[in-house]
Structure 1
Amino acid sequence: MPETTAPYLRVRNLEAWYDESYVLQGVDFDVAEGEVVTLLGRNGAGKTTTLKAIMGLMPRASGSITFSGRDILGHPPHRIARAGIGYCPEERGIFGSLTVTENLVLPPAVAAETISLARIYEMFPNLAERRDSAGNKLSGGEQQMLAIGRILRTGARILLLDEPTEGLAPVIVQQIGRVIADMKKAGLTIVLVEQNFHFAAHVADRHYVVERGRVVDMIPGAELTAQEAKLRDYLGV
């Protein structure tokens, strides 16, 4: 039998709590290097909590999370970030008093090879035009571009993106979709939490369905059309 390659990111029996609330109840999924994978599910299913647990941001979590063959569960967030995992939260987390350029150059590099500032501005022309504007003067779409661009500048090899298209105009959603496609071509790995089913369908290789703190199904991108009715039932759309 041919040898199999270990997943780039491997999550097994991941459990997490907020105080006494048992949110993640045994999440299992794999992500291969260079893949784009989505976590789909209704609000409150545990998708965002899964990303936070990977980043070490949950106060209580158990199970197993390995990245590039190394166990990272229980590591502090700064160590996980320096290992090469970038996290873009739903609230974006940019610095409103800093300019676009200052936001982009502030985070430390986590790899020898990073994406240049010039390349970020090529990917996001809107940011190039607003490079001297404060973060709190940007539109929601521009803030989302800035949040993604800031992660790319660090040299992170796997990106965790939480609802990157929420509330954005269709033209901005299309631009973010093109950037994700470019990132995949460049060899980056992406875990995407997304409510926009149509957006996720066009950018992802595989879709994991999360319900009540567990992964209940996996739908390959190639089978999405055939299984669309089932997926819509899962999502309640």
Structure 2
Amino acid sequence: MLEVEGLNAWYDESHVLHGMHFTVREGELVTLLGRNGAGKSTTLKAIMGLLPKRTGSIRFRDQELIRARPDIVGRAGIGFCPEDRGIFADLSVQENLLLPPVVGPGGMSIADIHALFPNLKERAKSPGTKLSGGEQQMLAIARILRTGAKLLLLDEPTEGLAPVIVQQIGRMIAEIKRRGFTVLLVEQNFRFAAKLADRHYVVEHGQVVDMIQADQLENRMEALQQRLGI
């Protein structure tokens, strides 16, 4: 579904990604793991076209996106949930849900979203400023699901959340995967990611340095802990 090859990206004159190379197959949940500053979040922004200077190849369903604007990337069927969640504070939960355009068939209905995220049904008329961090994260993910996007890029969805909310977010992401969505996940909480992912790419200094299948984790834990500093 997604093929990233030789991806380089810059912030102004700072060269951050140095030939990123990885794939995400349809229906998979794949993580990018690495220490702070490794280039994980930058990779998601580069895929979305949010960085002005990129080279290499980003192919999504055989469509080359390396030169595409963010709106073109979104309409191709890729949804991005940034680390800051991007909730519109002055809009209600319902208005936030309905704001993004539908980009393809197969999106979840409002009823389906309310069943998956019951908190959002209860807070439908509440403005974004009144939501807890966990509710904001649920809303940020839910509004992508309504659009018909097939690939979800999730950047640090558990950042700053209480353990009980982290568990709830984990159950929701597992259900999203079960429903056929494909997920590329950036996550510092390795224990959270390990329970969900089919494969893990380890990122250091803007490059993929290792790939670990879920069934290899137990045998690779010592080396992985050294790389991640956990």
TM-score by length of 1: 0.96
SS of the aligned residue for 2:104 comes to coil
1:114 match? 107
1:5 match? none
2:159 match? 166
CA distance in structure 1 between the aligned counterparts of 2:98 and 2:11, rounded to whole angstroms: 34
CA distance in structure 2 between the aligned counterparts of 1:173 and 1:211, rounded to whole angstroms: 26
Superposition map of 1:63-142 within 5 A: 63-142=56-135
- Aligned CA-pair RMSD: 0.7
2:24 match? 31
2:7 to 14, 20, 35: 14
CA distance in structure 1 between the aligned counterparts of 2:106 and 2:209, rounded to whole angstroms: 37
Task: Look up the equivalent residue of 2:24 and give its one-letter code.
Answer: V
CA distance in structure 1 between the aligned counterparts of 2:184 and 2:227, rounded to whole angstroms: 19
Residues 68-119 of structure 1: per-residue CA shift (max 9 Å, x gap): 1111111000011001000000000010001101100111100123201111
Task: Look up the equivalent residue of 2:221 and give its one-letter code.
Answer: E
Task: Give % identity.
Answer: 63
Q: CA deviation at 1:186?
A: 1.2
Which consecutive residues of structure 2, in runs of 5 or more, have no partner in the other structure?
none
Q: CA deviation at 1:167?
A: 0.9
SS of the aligned residue for 1:104 comes to helix
Structure 1 stretches of 4+ with a deviation exceeding 2 A read none
Judge which range, 121-130 or 72-81, deviates more: 121-130
SS of the aligned residue for 1:224 comes to helix
Q: CA deviation at 1:164?
A: 0.2
Task: Look up the equivalent residue of 2:96 and give its one-letter code.
Answer: N
Q: CA deviation at 1:226?
A: 1.2
2:213 to 192, 207, 220: 220
CA distance in structure 1 between the aligned counterparts of 2:66 and 2:143, rounded to whole angstroms: 24
SS of the aligned residue for 1:159 comes to strand
SS of the aligned residue for 2:218 comes to coil
TM-score by length of 2: 0.99
Task: Look up the equivalent residue of 2:10 and give its one-letter code.
Answer: W
CA distance in structure 1 between the aligned counterparts of 2:163 and 2:13, rounded to whole angstroms: 39
Residue 60 of structure 1 pairs with residue 50 of structure 2: no
Q: CA deviation at 1:189?
A: 0.5
Task: Look up the equivalent residue of 1:205 and give its one-letter code.
Answer: D
Which consecutive residues of structure 1, in runs of 5 or more, have no partner in the other structure?
1-7
